[in-house]
Structure 1
């Protein structure tokens, strides 16, 4: 699964670096040749030099295989155009756009951009949650992305299925806030049992989330 970042400025650079460090396949598109050369050299990353609104450039970047496109240039209008091209021309399911002017947020939403954000950490978390969406979904972020509200789907084979809350092995920085069961919200106690089909919501940070996901994957294998 691949994501494409358009824009090699500070946000694009840090976003590329963050996702590569987390082990994801990601390509960056930037029109400035000097910036492309520097980023490719510093991060040993896949960098395409070209206009992110050009269909041929996007095709060269592998957009046909991408699941997510993040437009993080310094221009709101360009980010909007990129997201619309990704949706209309390449049928990308998830687009994320950086917005510099808060007045443009409603327009971006009305024109079909899936997520509108400005923080590097928030964008990285959104991309990661979509790429790993079978495991969890980040519902909301707080404190500039340092705190996450996460939703976890419980299938019949999930390690938490049929367990009670007090027996769950949770990182210290992870607190279960509620369980959604058949459209009803349950505020769990220690003896609350988790059922197949539940959606478990919890507050955590990124480090604790990765620790929890690694633990759950080990339990499944």
Structure 2
């Protein structure tokens, strides 16, 4: 697979990093010498200097032989022109564009269906708002992914001392917990990702990723000393693109919303635009303002300013004056591993949301969705089992899954199946597979072609 990536920023760099480790042929295009130097010195990919919107540059990058073009610069206009130019030069190449501005929202379908066309539009702001709302709906969750239209959830949750699972061996789940119980997909312990086996014992402080049907989630949460509860009051700090989109969503759900924004002009715009949300002009990192707004009565405080240090400070201040739940927007990937150590657990990233959206479109096989787990260490992949796949018509115990991969769910019609060794995947079943980064290339092959041995 040959992939041309236009844009060597954070999203482009990390997508290139992921794909190069999977031995894909990657070419990165950017106008910045510094960005290209970072790519070429750290990744096993090729680079071309120039604008991705230029036909000559795209030809030099090999777009005519590319399977996929990813346009992920910080400029919506550059991304659009790059894809439209690519469609003229190489119509068969699949084109994905990152588009951030809300002005284009009404035209996404037009871009996909008109000629020249763009196969997929990815809006990080829309995706991160979806992520925030998923976190709000699962109390205590550090990470939440949804599959099969929300029927199946994967939840990452910190295991508290004294909970029912603390000190329990995975092989004892069936006898100790009864019929409705979590299926453990992964454990993160002291920063290390563990693909669990029956002999593994859960420990307080572990970040546990588990699978549950949505209808049974409340029953499963009791094992983590949690329970579902409605979200009624939310304070948003930062009235930018993401804050505005989130406020719109919360208003549509009849959730009482307050927005704190320090820019007076933006405050006036928000006050005119919002229907019911209360707009406060002030500094969200001002402790006295947070206390005046009865922060302890808020179900969630969401920090969405353009400055990540401010977002971290707001979350820490909110927790110190009584807020139970905070969600913090972070853009720099280098900050992510540090967040849990300072008490900031629920973190969202527009860039990571963009990467998750992109992954499903560059995977081989009929992949429906993909979600990164614990940074870039692993993925959860939802796919359709093709007739040609190595997975079908064979008992799971006889399938040669690579080390670091785990089949965690089979969905057949309206039935959600937690697989055992005797389970058999049928063609057109939906499967959900957890795979470490190293196991992903092998899983891609398993999802597409049955290997023949002679």
Fold shared, TM-score > 0.5 on shorter chain: yes
1:37, 1:215 → 2: CA distance? Answer: 32
- Give how far 1:104 is off: 3.0
Q: Corresponding residue for 1:64?
A: 64
Q: Corresponding residue for 1:154?
A: 386
1:215, 1:40 → 2: CA distance? Answer: 28
Q: Contact 1:6–1:72 at 8 Å: present in 2 too? A: yes
How many residue pairs are counted as aligned between the two chains?
210
Structure 2 SS opposite 1:17: helix
Q: Contact 1:126–1:138 at 8 Å: present in 2 too? A: yes
Q: Which has the higher contact order (CA 8 A, sep 6+)?
A: 1
Unaligned runs of 5+ residues in structure 2 are: 113-117, 125-350
Q: Corresponding residue for 1:176?
A: 409
2:18, 2:371 → 1: CA distance? Answer: 19
Q: Contact 1:86–1:92 at 8 Å: present in 2 too? A: no
Judge which range, 37-46 or 65-74, deviates more.
37-46
Unaligned runs of 5+ residues in structure 1 are: none
Judge which range, 44-53 or 113-122, deviates more.
113-122
- Give how far 1:75 is off: 1.0
Q: Corresponding residue for 2:190?
A: none
Give matches, 1:24-173, under 5 Å.
24-102=24-102, 104-112=104-112, 113-115=118-120, 116-118=122-124, 119-120=351-352, 121-122=355-356, 125-126=359-360, 128-129=362-363, 133=364, 136-142=365-371, 148-155=380-387, 158-164=389-395, 173=406
Deviations 1:25-71 (Å, cap 9, x if unpaired)?
Answer: 00011112343334323335311011111111100111111010000
1:211, 1:86 → 2: CA distance? Answer: 27
The change in CA–CA distance for 1:29 and 1:63 in structure 2 (over 3 A counts) is: same
State which structure, 1 or 2, has the greater radius of gyration over its C-alpha atoms. Answer: 2
Q: Contact 2:6–2:72 at 8 Å: present in 1 too? A: yes
The change in CA–CA distance for 1:26 and 1:212 in structure 2 (over 3 A counts) is: closer
Structure 1 SS opposite 2:87: helix
Q: Contact 2:2–2:26 at 8 Å: present in 1 too? A: yes
- Give how far 1:18 is off: 1.9
2:441, 2:37 → 1: CA distance? Answer: 35
Deviations 1:88-133 (Å, cap 9, x if unpaired)?
Answer: 332144111223235534423321232215445425623540xxx2
- Give how far 1:159 is off: 3.6
Q: Contact 1:174–1:203 at 8 Å: present in 2 too? A: yes
Structure 2 SS opposite 1:64: helix
Q: Contact 1:125–1:138 at 8 Å: present in 2 too? A: no
CA RMSD, 1 decimal: 3.4
Structure 1 SS opposite 2:67: strand
1:25, 1:202 → 2: CA distance? Answer: 27
Structure 2 SS opposite 1:15: helix
